[in-house]
Amino acid sequence: MRTRTIAIGLTVFASLAVSGCSGSTPAGTASPLEDLSGQPKIAASKAGTPLSSAVLTERLLAEADLGQDYTRKPESAARHDDVTVIGCPALEQLGGDAAGGGGSLDFPNKAKATFVYSGSTGSEVAEELYSDAAPKLADGTKQIFDAMTGCPAYQVVIGSRPVKITTQKLAAPALGDQAWSQLLTFTAGGQDSIVKQTAVRTGAVLLIVSGSPALVDSHVEKALAKALPAS
pLDDT digits over 19-48, tens only? 444 333 333 333 222 333 333 344 344 457
Domains present along the chain, CATH in parentheses: 2-22+45-227 (3.40.1000.70)
In this prediction, residue 204 carries a pLDDT of 94
Residues 6+ apart with CB under 8 A from 172: 37, 179, 180, 181, 198
215, HSE (Cβ side, Cα atoms, 13 Å): 28
Contact of 122 with 20, CB cutoff 8 Å: no
The DSSP secondary-structure symbol of 67 reads -
The DSSP secondary-structure symbol of 42 reads P
In this prediction, residue 29 carries a pLDDT of 32
In this prediction, residue 47 carries a pLDDT of 58
177, HSE (Cβ side, Cα atoms, 13 Å): 19
Amino acid present at 25: T
In this prediction, residue 115 carries a pLDDT of 92
Give which of 65, 74, 68, 79 is closest to 113, Cα–Cα.
Answer: 74
CA distance 216 to 226: 15
Contact of 26 with 16, CB cutoff 8 Å: no
Output phi, psi for 149, to 5 deg.
-80, -15
In this prediction, residue 112 carries a pLDDT of 93
Residues 6+ apart with CB under 8 A from 164: 153, 154, 155, 186, 187, 188
Ranges in the chain, pLDDT < 70: 1-47, 76-81, 95-105, 119-122, 231
Strand 161-169, strand 70-72: pairing: unpaired
Amino acid present at 96: G
Q: Model-level pTM greater than 0.85?
A: no
| Residue 91, phi-psi category: left (phi > 0), alpha (psi -120 to 50), beta (remainder) | alpha
In this prediction, residue 101 carries a pLDDT of 30
- 179-186 contacts, C-beta under 8 A, 24 or more apart: 180/141, 180/142, 180/145, 181/36, 182/145, 182/148, 182/149, 183/33, 183/213, 184/14, 184/148, 186/14, 186/15, 186/17, 186/18
Contact of 161 with 188, CB cutoff 8 Å: yes
Task: Give me the DSSP letters along 120-171.
Answer: STTEEEEEEEEES-HHHHHHHHHHHHHHHHT-SEEEEEETTEEEEEEEEE-P
